[in-house]
Structure 1
């Protein structure tokens, strides 16, 4: 299959999977706390990836393990906890729109830290995206006064983590295939996730009932599809395209997430949709300026 078509197919699949991940997090949080959701997501993903690709570990050389550690911690470990706490306190649809800042941060930190070039139009896109973010947060705080929009900062930090993750893969792990990167990442993360899960007391306090069982079902679906399989596809997409192009999957994620949010009874105003459009337009400028 031509790379151009392959990139579009990957973008569409990832947007559907990750767009649905926000509502899955929200449902998992009904019976689990954010730390448990984050740790279980990593642990279940690690087990799944180890089962389907443990042989890939032997393809990883010593020098690559350092960057896999950075990639795993920054690109997976930290964000899953940040998003779990954010979705606990703000609407999942709003979190997904804020996630659209990933391409903007990819550009900023790609230039500042990794030395990738940028154009003036891309800088304009960054400023437009930031303006949309401010409008989105302020309006959200107005129509949902019971929600603590300070937790939006956690999503912004997560998008910065994703930006570093993209650039690390592109610059330092280009010679490693997508599945090997994913398996290496989560082999490293499995032990700390298990330790964190143990200290949450889940093994001694977890009670089996309908609500807790459904939470486990949601987090398992999220881990296998939203993290495991999606991570493999995303790593491959990064390898066959640019970091900024890969991060443009966040164009489509909010559309899917907002639809799920509305179906679940979340409130979203026309001004917030406009603010989301402003963010996405800013991201569009970043990607269009070749």
Structure 2
């Protein structure tokens, strides 16, 4: 791997890990919907140059319906759900739930698109989900003051991501990835303008929260997406998949350093289990028990 690609991986993981920190700080002030509206508008502004190309504009026009749906399920719904989760959960906790996205993407691909999976991938699905269960033990209370609804919101966000990933694979593989990124973010910004302004907080918002919201949009979404798609083109999908493992580590460290969040032993165990399941599911490692890797019918 090139040194530049490695640097990109580290920077992207820092940006995406910091997004959970920014949501944790600013979501209680802006509210989930208004915060995500700012995030999407800022990201759309950064990515707007992509549509200076006539070919990209034509591609967007031809595929706008599917790209708009991707915007709904890859940006609007999961970002709002994660922002809500961040009002109740620590940044590191939320990021660990989010790390199960590849597991749920594989599960939705199996159920929706009837993708055949190997026994190793099936084992990875089960192990990955069990990691989230371990993380949720003692927190899954739906009573007043409990974290149950926040955890469910985080899991629903990963399901939305999983659906969006499979939609792109099934309907948009022929479309330039930058067009999908810029188009989906732009549609998401349009979808959120009305609800975001309607739910705008009545109290004045301080500079620190505005800074967090804008950094969330410009750096953690717009710039990070540009870097990510450059990385995919330069180093391939396998290298970019490694970011999945670094984001929770980054988020936990950000939370520990900036917000003095506690790193518990249970979080470390849950992270290890989820990472192992994700690595099996994405065939980043091979388990000798499933050496033949037979497909599950």
1:253 aligns with 2:247: yes
- Aligned partners of 2:33 and 2:211: how far apart in 1? 17
3-state SS in 2 of match to 1:265: coil
Distance of aligned partners of 1:76 and 1:237 in 2 relative to their CA distance in 1, 3 Å threshold: farther
Check conservation: 1:68, 1:181, Cα contact below 8 A: yes
- Aligned partners of 2:75 and 2:85: how far apart in 1? 15
- Aligned partners of 2:172 and 2:262: how far apart in 1? 41
Corresponding residue for residue 277 of structure 2: 282
Instruction: Report deviation, 1:65.
Output: 1.0
Distance of aligned partners of 1:241 and 1:120 in 2 relative to their CA distance in 1, 3 Å threshold: farther
Corresponding residue for residue 35 of structure 2: 37
Q: What's the CA shift string for 1:76-106, capped at 9, x where partnerless?
A: 1111100110000111110101111111111
The list of structure 1 runs, each at least 4 consecutive aligned residues, that deviate by more than 3 angstroms after superposition, is 4-13, 139-142, 232-242, 244-248
Check conservation: 1:103, 1:248, Cα contact below 8 A: no
Corresponding residue for residue 72 of structure 2: 73
Check conservation: 2:34, 2:200, Cα contact below 8 A: no
- Root-mean-square deviation (CA, aligned residues, Å) is 2.7
Using the TM superposition, name which of 97-106 and 167-176 deviates more: 167-176
1:271 aligns with 2:266: yes
Instruction: Report deviation, 1:27.
Output: 1.8
1:55 aligns with 2:36: no
1:231 aligns with 2:225: yes
Corresponding residue for residue 148 of structure 1: 147
3-state SS in 2 of match to 1:280: helix
Alignment TM-score, normalising by the size of structure 2: 0.83
Instruction: Report deviation, 1:206.
Output: 5.0
Instruction: Report deviation, 1:266.
Output: 1.4
Instruction: Report deviation, 1:148.
Output: 1.7
Q: What's the CA shift string for 1:174-206, capped at 9, x where partnerless?
A: 23223222221133222222111221244xx35
Corresponding residue for residue 198 of structure 1: 197
Which residues of 2 match residues 111-122 of structure 1 at below 5 A?
111-122=110-121
Q: What's the CA shift string for 1:100-132, capped at 9, x where partnerless?
A: 111111111122222433110111111111111
1:134 aligns with 2:128: no
Alignment TM-score, normalising by the size of structure 1: 0.85
Check conservation: 1:89, 1:148, Cα contact below 8 A: yes
- Aligned partners of 1:30 and 1:73: how far apart in 2? 22
Q: What's the CA shift string for 1:205-237, capped at 9, x where partnerless?
A: 3525xxx21111111111112111223344566
Distance of aligned partners of 1:59 and 1:280 in 2 relative to their CA distance in 1, 3 Å threshold: same
Check conservation: 1:234, 1:246, Cα contact below 8 A: yes
Corresponding residue for residue 18 of structure 1: 16
- Aligned partners of 1:147 and 1:273: how far apart in 2? 22
Check conservation: 2:8, 2:227, Cα contact below 8 A: yes
